[in-house]
Amino acid sequence: MEQVFNVPRVVIGAPQGRSGKTTVTLGLIAALSARGLKVQPFKKGPDFIDPGWLGRVAGRVCRNLDAFFMDRETLRWSLYRGGAGADVAVIEGAMGLFDGVDLAGSGSTAEIAKALSAPVLLVVNAVRMTRSIAAVVLGCQHFDPEVSIGGVILNNVARPRHERMLRAAVENFCGLPVVGALPKNRAWQIPDRHLGLIPVGEDDRLWQAVEAARAGAEEHLDLDAILAIARAAPPLPLPAPPVETGVRLTEPVRIGVFRDRAFSFYYPENLEALEEAGARLVFIDALHDPLPEVDAVYIGGGFPEVFGAELEANRSLREALRSRVEEGLPVYAECGGLIYLSRSLTYEGRRFAMAGVFPFDVTVDNEPRGHGYMRLRALEGNPYFPPGREIKGHEFHHSALAVLPPEGRFGFTVERGYGIDGTRDGLVYKNVLGAYCHIHALAVPDWAVVFVSKAAAYRDQKRSKNQALAGV
């Protein structure tokens, strides 16, 4: 008999971006949590900021579901693993419901919903719309018959008469329940900047917007109806777990992870993969901490430009990292981490000294350079991936590197995306790789094993050298 699992679940989708999915999702999770339910949040697509908010509200680590990175079995494994012990899973979509990387809609929110057999709650921005809402909803209902629209949530409703007209149009022409109608309310809007919402850890005052969204959800969403839709999702075949990987170590390696207000973009699966491969993670506040005794360093993305003065002020960390790199310390850096490894960072007319591992300067402005999914091919000399290896990832950056010196070595060619210069990404120096590309461990399962192996080799080499100097 086939083994199955069942997690009550809904996908929050919309006909187009900027319809209010994040506000609805935050409010819904907060309202369900206030009822005492354990809510497991998920976010569709490559994103770090929204998951931070969703996880904070739910009190559970938010995980990303991405059909560009993951096949159907891996998506279901993520749902199974992340949703264990939860009463309901709420999955926030991205962009429009059917928007993907190509004409077939590959990687879309709809593909996630189909892979997980999850009903969709369609959030429709009702500004300047009445009867036409039925045409929009009908289009989503019938565009792909395999996608199940479970209900509709009206957003930005003007007044009670407007709501009555919208409800009647949806229920009469589409045969779907309207499970919520949110009036216009600026108090629910969470401030953003050039990469999206302000990260959850930067300003606790932003929590007021979440509290307002919770109150709005409790008042204007039919929570019982939404739970009934989620609980009607069918059981799924129990997925096979990913192949376990690890490094045979006599003791764990210590991997330092920059994690603070400047560097907060990490997929939980990446950190878990490092631990499962044999690492003990040591979190470092790059704004204040010295460099501890570690065997490797992982620097994720974030907003180093916003905290440039504080990063510059922590001179001991910058100099210690540069010195240890010369000794062979393995370092893996993504986007904001790449910027930190530069010589300097210029933002809003101010120039800040960085670690100086790579001899280039960076300027950050409001012009997007790279935005979206990436497909890379590893080059000879890449310390973490063999030549020719395809790497899937994503980028979202508003920074540009000055002209690279002749000795600069690239780690990848770019087959999709922009990277550093439109054709190449990733700079290599000794055991350091810094790239604009963000990877997800479930899409690159050998990354953690190789990184931990590099850390172990560095540790053993350092110990042997110290023993030789001590005459042991």
Catalytic residues: 335
Q: Are 272 and 281 in contact (CB under 8 A)?
A: no
Q: Are 406 and 33 in contact (CB under 8 A)?
A: no
**How many other CB atoms are found less than 10 A from the CB of residue 18?**
10
DSSP readout, 284-325? E-TTTPPP-S-SEEEE-EE-TTTTHHHHHH-HHHHHHHHHHH
| SS3 assignment, position 54 | helix
**How many other CB atoms are found less than 10 A from the CB of residue 192?**
11
Parallel/antiparallel/unpaired status of strands 390-397 and 263-265: unpaired
DSSP 438: B
Q: Which amino acid is at 344?
A: S
Alpha-carbon distances of 36 from 28, 58, 88, 92, rounded to whole Å: 13, 11, 11, 21
Strand partners, 282: 256
Strand partners, 149: 120
Distance, in Å, from the CA atom of 292 to the CA atom of 295, rounded to the nearest integer, reads 10
The Cα angle at residue 98 between residues 96 and 102, in degrees rounded to 5: 110
Q: Which amino acid is at 67?
A: A
